[in-house]
Structure 1
């Protein structure tokens, strides 16, 4: 079984080390100083006081790797469209694409049923390119709960967590998701197979949609945002708007907003990924975490006044910092047809 981790940054590097230690045939796609350091010294993972060093195959040219059984995308969601062409050599007739990214994935409406079956969302998949060229039929959903960071080129520090719930868009328990879950388990990670992966996507997004932009605007850590009465109330208002939207798409939340906020508070003095990107001068992950919820609110005719206000402010903050990519106007595309030669995964 051949596995390629496309985007071997903090999370991708963590997976790469764990998979390699488990004896998997894993390749890493990376770039720049991080790639150079991995080639020269191997990839190091720090977990507490323990150092784990592996020397997996690393490249910035996916064409060297050939067809894979699984391609695990660990890029920021807004970066995926830009690498569609270079990803193509990895995709054989039966390759599965595992979207280990934050926010709503490009395949969300594949085998979803209902009015929007087969549709694409402009805020996360401009022009529907990911849908057409990667193919929703290849997709396996994956939610990333661990926190990791690149401490130095070639060095990943694990902060907390080891859960990566996975699932087919259709909810079936396929042989592919069972194989993937077994791979994660062999690597010492938790990857339960979920029949309702959409619910878990929204549960993770529920915190991201409010806590990430508020943190970028205030520079506050999770414990501060969730303890201060004003920002806690604002977070809850956005979460309730988000819940109303999600439930119109059939999503079920297994906890309430207060419990979700309290869970974030207990994480402590943690900086969200959006705040880290702002501080490090990297493009901010606004569209997959916030704009997409506004877009889906428009689709369902759900008012989102709290979300709209915070989104307007964080977009302006990103533009002033020069960290805002150009995004087309939010709109939904009509159901897309799969290419005639697309592999089908029942």
Structure 2
């Protein structure tokens, strides 16, 4: 099995080491000092008190790696449309593309019945770049739960978690998703295959939708947001607006909103990824986590007043920090 990790950062690096240890033929698309370090010293992973190292083919140009059986996209969501066309150099007729990306996926309405089938989301796929270049038939959903960090070029630190939930947009348990799950399990990862992958996407999105922008606006950790009555109420309002949208789209929420908030509080003094990106001057994942939910609200005719207000503030906060450019902005 040939697997290319497109975006071999923290999560991509963790997956690469696990898949290689499980017997897959792994290659990486990376860039800059990270790429140079991987070429010179291999990819290293600190996990459970030990350091694992793999020697792996790594390139900046995907065309140098040739066709793959699976391409696992582990980039930030806003980075994917601009590389979608380059990614096609990795495809053969049956190549599957695994979207290990936060937020609402670009293929969300593929494989669904009803009047919204085939609807494209401009907030996460401007101009249909991914839909047209990659093609939704290739897509396999993946919800990422582990936390990892690139601590220096070529070196990934595993912090917690080992579960990557997989699912076909159609809900089928196809041979390709079953084979991928087995390869991931062979490398020590948990890789359940779920028939309702959108339910899994929404459970994680529920928190990202609310806690990420609130943290970016306030500088607060998860436990601070959940402990403060005001910010907890804002988060709850955003989550309830999101739940109303999801339920209109057929999503089943397995837990209630208060339990979801309490689960976030239990994580403790954790800074969300959006706050970390803002503090480090990196591009913020506002559109996949928040703007897309606003767009889904418009599509389903669901009011989202709290989401709208928090989104407007977060977009401006990000723009003024040089960490966000609103879609369609000059």
Normalised by the length of structure 2, the TM-score is 0.98
CA contact (8 A) 2:284 2:323 kept: yes
- In structure 1, what is the equivalent of residue 100 of structure 2? 100
Which residue pairs with 1:56 in the alignment?
56
| Cα distance in structure 1, aligned partners of 2:224 and 2:119 | 38
Decide whether the 8 Å contact of 2:167 with 2:194 is kept in 1.
yes
Equivalent positions of 1:283-298 (< 5 A) are: 283-298=283-298
Please name the residue that 1:229 is paired with. 229
Gaps of 5+ in 1: 330-346
Deviation at 1:328, TM superposition (A): 3.1
SS at match of 2:95: strand
**Distance (Å, rounded) in 2 between the aligned partners of 1:165 and 1:236:** 25
1:84-233 pair list within 5 angstroms:
84-233=84-233
Structure 2 distance, partners of 1:175, 1:84, is 25
Instruction: Tell me the CA shift for residue 22 of structure 1.
Output: 2.0
> CA separation in 2, counterparts of 1:85 and 1:168?
22
1:219-259 deviation line (CA, Å, top 9, x unaligned): 11111111111111111110000000010000000001111
- Contact kept, 8 Å, 2:22 with 2:184, in 1: the verdict is no
Residue 325 of structure 1: aligned partner? 325
Quote the Cα distance in structure 2 between the aligned partners of 1:225 and 1:198. 26
Contact residue 123 and residue 328 of structure 1 kept, 8 A: no
Structure 1 segments, 4+ long, off by >6 Å, are none
**Structure 2: runs of 5 or more not aligned:** none
Q: How big is the shift at 1:325?
A: 2.4
Measure, in 1, the Cα distance between the counterparts of 2:270 and 2:184: 26
Counterpart Cα distance in 1 of 2:180 and 2:21? 16
Instruction: Determine the structure 2 residue equivalent to 1:47.
Output: 47
Cα deviation digits, residues 271-314 of structure 1 (max 9, x gap):
11111111111110000000000011111111111111110110
Q: Deviations over 1:106-147 (max 9, x none)?
A: 111111111110110110111112111100000000000011
Which region of structure 1 is more displaced relative to structure 2, 319-328 or 289-298? 319-328
The Cα of 1:24 is off from its aligned counterpart by: 1.4
2: distance between equivalents of 1:248 and 1:217?
Answer: 29
- 1:35 equivalent in structure 2: 35
Question: What is the distance in 2 between the residues matched to 1:103 and 1:279?
Answer: 21
Partner SS state of residue 66, structure 1: coil
- Seen in structure 2, the aligned counterparts of structure 1 residues 240 and 326 have a Cα distance that, compared at 3 Å, is closer
Question: Could you say which residue in structure 1 is the equivalent of 2:252?
Answer: 252
- Report Cα offsets for 1:23-77 as digits up to 9, x if no partner: 2100011000111111111111112421111111111111111111000000011
User: Which structure exhibits the higher relative contact order, with contacts defined as CA atoms closer than 8 Å and separated by 6 or more residues?
Assistant: 1
